[in-house]
Structure 1
Amino acid sequence: MHSKIRDKKTTTLASLALLSVLSGCGGGSDSEGLTPNSNTNSWNAGVFASASQFKGQCQASNEKNWLRSWSNETYLWYDEIIDTDPALTSGVVAYFDTLKTNELTDSGAKKDNYHFNLPTDEWQRQSQSGVTYGYGFNIKILASSAPRQAVISYTEPNTPASNQNLARGFELVAVDGIDFVNTTSSSEVALISASLFPEQTGKTTEFVFKDINTNQNRTVTLTSQNITSQPVVNVRTDLADGDVGYFQFNSHNAIAEDQLYNAFNQFAASNIKDLVIDVRYNGGGFLQMASQVAYMIAGRANTQGKVFERTVFNDKNPNTNPVTGQTLSPMPFTNQFVGFADNPATVPGSALPTLNLSRVFVLTTSSTCSASEAIINGLRGADIEVIQIGSGTCGKPYGFYPTDNCATTYFTIQFSGINNKGFGEYADGFAPKNTIDNAFQPVLLTGCALADDFSQPLGNANEALLKTALNYRNTGSCPAPSSINSKQGFAPAITTDSPEVKDTRIQTLLEQNTILSDNMR
Structure 2
Amino acid sequence: MKTYVYSLVALAVTISQLAGCGGSGGSSNSSAVVTTPPATVTPDPTWEAGVYKPQSQFIAKCETPRSGIDPFTGRAYPDTQGTAMDEKLWLRSWTNDTYLWYDEVDDNDPENFSVSAYFDQLRTNELTPSGTPKDNFHFSQDTAEYNELSQSGISSGFGFSWEFGSTTVPRELTVRYTEPGSPAALANVPRGAKVVSINGVDFVDDNTQQGVDAINDGLFPDDAGTTTSFGFELVDGTMLTVDITSDDISVTPVQNVKVLDTENGKLGYFQFNSFIVTAQEELIGAFDTFVEENVTELVMDLRYNGGGRLALASQLSYMVAGPSQTNNATFETLRFNDKNPTTNPVTGQTISPTPFYRNVIDYKEGVLTDTLLPSLSLTRLYVISTDATCSASEAVMNALRGIDVEVVQIGSTTCGKPYGFYPTDNCGETYFTIQFQGVNNKGFGDYADGFMPTATPSFDFELPGCEVEDDFTASLGDPNEGMLSAALEYAATGSCPEVVTSNGVADVKALRSNQSALGGEKLIPIDKPEKRKENFILHNKINQPVIKERK
TM range, normalised to the smaller chain?
Answer: 0.7 to 0.9
Question: Does the residue aligned with 1:293 lie in a helix, a strand or coil?
Answer: helix
Alpha-carbon distance change, 175 to 244 in structure 1, aligned in 2, over 3 angstroms: same
Question: CA contact under 8 A between 1:274 and 1:357: conserved in structure 2?
Answer: yes
> 2:218, 2:382 → 1: CA distance?
37
Of 173-182 and 350-359, the range deviating more from structure 2: 173-182
The alpha carbon displacement at 1:487 in A equals 4.1
Q: Report whether the alignment pairs 1:239 with 2:239.
A: no
1:125-156 per-residue CA deviation (whole Å, 9 max, x = no partner) reads 11101111211111111233222222111111
Question: CA contact under 8 A between 1:392 and 1:442: conserved in structure 2?
Answer: no
Counterpart for residue 535 of structure 2 = 508
Counterpart for residue 106 of structure 2 = 82
Alpha-carbon distance change, 493 to 158 in structure 1, aligned in 2, over 3 angstroms: closer
Larger radius of gyration: 2
Counterpart for residue 471 of structure 2 = 453
1:102-123 per-residue CA deviation (whole Å, 9 max, x = no partner) reads 2222212111122222222122
TM-score, reference length from structure 2:
0.83
Question: CA contact under 8 A between 2:258 and 2:269: conserved in structure 1?
Answer: yes
Alpha-carbon distance change, 258 to 221 in structure 1, aligned in 2, over 3 angstroms: same
Quick one: which amino acid aligns to residue 221 of structure 2?
P
Question: CA contact under 8 A between 2:317 and 2:396: conserved in structure 1?
Answer: yes
- Alignment match of 1:392 (pick from 406, 413, 418): 413
Counterpart for residue 208 of structure 2 = 185
Counterpart for residue 354 of structure 1 = 375
Question: CA contact under 8 A between 1:449 and 1:481: conserved in structure 2?
Answer: no
Q: Spell out the pairing of 1:74-473 with structure 2 (5 A cutoff).
A: 74-89=98-113, 91-212=114-235, 214-240=236-262, 243-340=266-363, 348-434=369-455, 443-473=461-491
Alpha-carbon distance change, 481 to 101 in structure 1, aligned in 2, over 3 angstroms: farther
Alpha-carbon distance change, 342 to 45 in structure 1, aligned in 2, over 3 angstroms: closer
> 1:281, 1:82 → 2: CA distance?
33
State how many pairs are aligned. Answer: 484
Question: Does the residue aligned with 1:124 lie in a helix, a strand or coil?
Answer: helix
Bigger relative contact order, structure 1 or 2, given CA contacts below 8 A and separation 6+?
A: 1
Of 472-481 and 260-269, the range deviating more from structure 2: 472-481
Question: Does the residue aligned with 1:173 lie in a helix, a strand or coil?
Answer: strand
Quick one: which amino acid aligns to residue 5 of structure 2?
L
Quick one: which amino acid aligns to residue 405 of structure 1?
N
The alpha carbon displacement at 1:269 in A equals 1.4
> 2:288, 2:374 → 1: CA distance?
6
- Alignment match of 1:65 (pick from 89, 96, 103): 89
Quick one: which amino acid aligns to residue 62 of structure 1?
D
The alpha carbon displacement at 1:442 in A equals 9.6
The alpha carbon displacement at 1:305 in A equals 2.0
Quick one: which amino acid aligns to residue 66 of structure 1?
W
The alpha carbon displacement at 1:486 in A equals 6.4
> 1:197, 1:300 → 2: CA distance?
44
Quick one: which amino acid aligns to residue 85 of structure 2?
S
Alpha-carbon distance change, 80 to 114 in structure 1, aligned in 2, over 3 angstroms: same
Over aligned residues, Cα RMSD in angstroms?
A: 2.6
Quick one: which amino acid aligns to residue 243 of structure 2?
T
Quick one: which amino acid aligns to residue 355 of structure 1?
L
> 1:461, 1:487 → 2: CA distance?
16
Alpha-carbon distance change, 200 to 278 in structure 1, aligned in 2, over 3 angstroms: same
Alpha-carbon distance change, 473 to 120 in structure 1, aligned in 2, over 3 angstroms: same
Quick one: which amino acid aligns to residue 151 of structure 2?
Q
Unaligned runs of 5+ in 1: 1-12, 25-34, 436-440
Quick one: which amino acid aligns to residue 495 of structure 1?
N
Question: CA contact under 8 A between 2:5 and 2:59: conserved in structure 1?
Answer: no
Question: CA contact under 8 A between 2:400 and 2:407: conserved in structure 1?
Answer: yes
> 2:480, 2:460 → 1: CA distance?
28
Unaligned runs of 5+ in 2: 11-39, 63-81, 517-522, 547-551
1:462-482 per-residue CA deviation (whole Å, 9 max, x = no partner) reads 111111111111111213476
Counterpart for residue 46 of structure 2 = 42
Alpha-carbon distance change, 442 to 187 in structure 1, aligned in 2, over 3 angstroms: farther
Question: CA contact under 8 A between 1:289 and 1:516: conserved in structure 2?
Answer: no
Quick one: which amino acid aligns to residue 179 of structure 2?
E
Question: Does the residue aligned with 2:324 lie in a helix, a strand or coil?
Answer: helix
Q: What's the % identity of the aligned pairs?
A: 47
Quick one: which amino acid aligns to residue 175 of structure 2?
I
Quick one: which amino acid aligns to residue 506 of structure 2?
G
> 2:322, 2:119 → 1: CA distance?
43
Question: CA contact under 8 A between 2:142 and 2:533: conserved in structure 1?
Answer: no
Question: Does the residue aligned with 1:367 lie in a helix, a strand or coil?
Answer: coil
Of 137-146 and 414-423, the range deviating more from structure 2: 137-146
Quick one: which amino acid aligns to residue 220 of structure 1?
V
Alpha-carbon distance change, 429 to 97 in structure 1, aligned in 2, over 3 angstroms: same
